[in-house]
């Protein structure tokens, strides 16, 4: 019955919905779980706090919306401000560290990544969301590296696979370097920085 709720937010054009779509697809198709994604629509979807939510479960997802997410991914300040309070007290915060300056809470695992800079290093800032996705995949390990990578490959526009996979790897590797061996310590350090 384990159910994981995820909220991803950012500004319009950052690829928020695609990130959610890839995670959902990796869970539902590659990993054979149940994953329901709902994206925000209308003016909200175009503004600076665009958002998408996912409910992932081993059993059928009945209630499609999320209440208090277990994982919150923030790629813009406005999105962070709008949704930060929903995050479960022990939920995981993941953020673009050059764009979002979170107020870290005691006991809350949090992980920052300079995804925009990493994307720029690959030559295309537009793949920032995929760098972030690689990082999120590494932090949460909700599906395997291969499953999430497979979903990226299947979801991005044809011809852009190599770039996007490189972006995914950059995000994943960043996690391994910065937090990999000493995950607990890093999170604790991040929390105590609050």
Partner 1 sequence: MKADPAGVLTGAHYLDGDFACGEGAMAAGCRFTAGYPITPSTEVVERISRRFPMMGGTFVQMEDELASMAAVVGASWTGTKSFTVTSGPGFSLMMENIGLAVMMETPCVVVNVQRGGPSTGLPTMTGQADMMQARWGSHGDYELIAMSPQSPQEAFDLTIDAFNLAELYRVPVLFMMDECVGHMTEKVVIPPADEIEIVPRKLTKSKPGDFEPYRANGQMVPEFARAGDGYRFHTTGLTHDERGYPEMSAECQDKLVRRLMDKINGNADKIVRFEEEDTDGADVVVLSYGITARVAREGIDLAREKGVKVGVIRLIVVWPFPEKRIRELAGTVKAIVVPEINYGQMVLEVERCAAGRCASVCVPHGGGGVHDPSDICDAIMGAVK
Three-class secondary structure of residue 48 per DSSP: coil
12 binds partner 1 (CB under 8 A): no
Burial class (CB in 10 A: 0-12, 13-18, 19+), 158: exposed
Which listed residue (3, 11, 12, 39) binds partner 1 by CB under 8 A?
39
Hey, what are 105's tokens?
Answer: 């809470």
Q: 187: which 2 tokens?
A: 């999170």
Name the 3-class secondary structure at 147. helix
Closest CA to 76 of 15, 133, 119: 15
Say whether residue 106 binds partner 1 (CB under 8 A).
no
CA distance 134 to 79: 20
Q: Which of 8, 16, 35, 170 binds partner 1 (CB under 8 A)?
A: 35
Contact call for residue 36 and partner 1 (CB under 8 A): yes
- The single residue among 37, 74, 139, 142 that binds partner 1, judged by CB under 8 A, is 37
Which residue in 62, 188, 189, 194 binds partner 1 (CB under 8 A)?
62
Residues 158-187, one symbol each (x = binds partner 1 by CB under 8 A, - = not), give ------------------------------
Residue numbers at the binding site for partner 1 (CB under 8 A): 21, 24-25, 28-29, 34-39, 41-42, 44, 61-65
């Amino acid at each position: 019955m384990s159910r994981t709720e995820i909220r991803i937010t950012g500004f319009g054009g950052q690829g928020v919905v695609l990130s959610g779509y890839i995670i959902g697809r990796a869970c539902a198709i590659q990993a054979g779980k149940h994953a329901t994604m709902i994206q925000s629509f209308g003016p909200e979807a175009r503004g600076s706090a665009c958002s998408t939510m996912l409910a992932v479960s081993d059993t059928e997802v009945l209630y499609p919306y999320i209440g208090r997410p277990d994982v919150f991914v923030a790629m813009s300040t406005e999105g962070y401000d709008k949704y930060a309070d929903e995050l479960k007290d022990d939920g995981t915060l993941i953020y673009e560290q050059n764009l979002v300056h979170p107020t870290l809470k005691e006991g809350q695992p949090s992980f920052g990544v300079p995804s925009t800079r990493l994307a720029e290093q690959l030559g295309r800032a537009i793949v920032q969301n995929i760098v972030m996705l690689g990082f999120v995949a590494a932090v949460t390990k909700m599906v395997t590296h291969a499953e999430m990578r497979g979903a990226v490959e299947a979801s991005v526009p044809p011809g852009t696979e190599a770039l996007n996979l490189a972006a995914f790897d950059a995000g994943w590797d960043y996690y391994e370097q910065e937090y990999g061996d000493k995950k607990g310590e890093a999170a604790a350090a991040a929390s105590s920085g609050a």
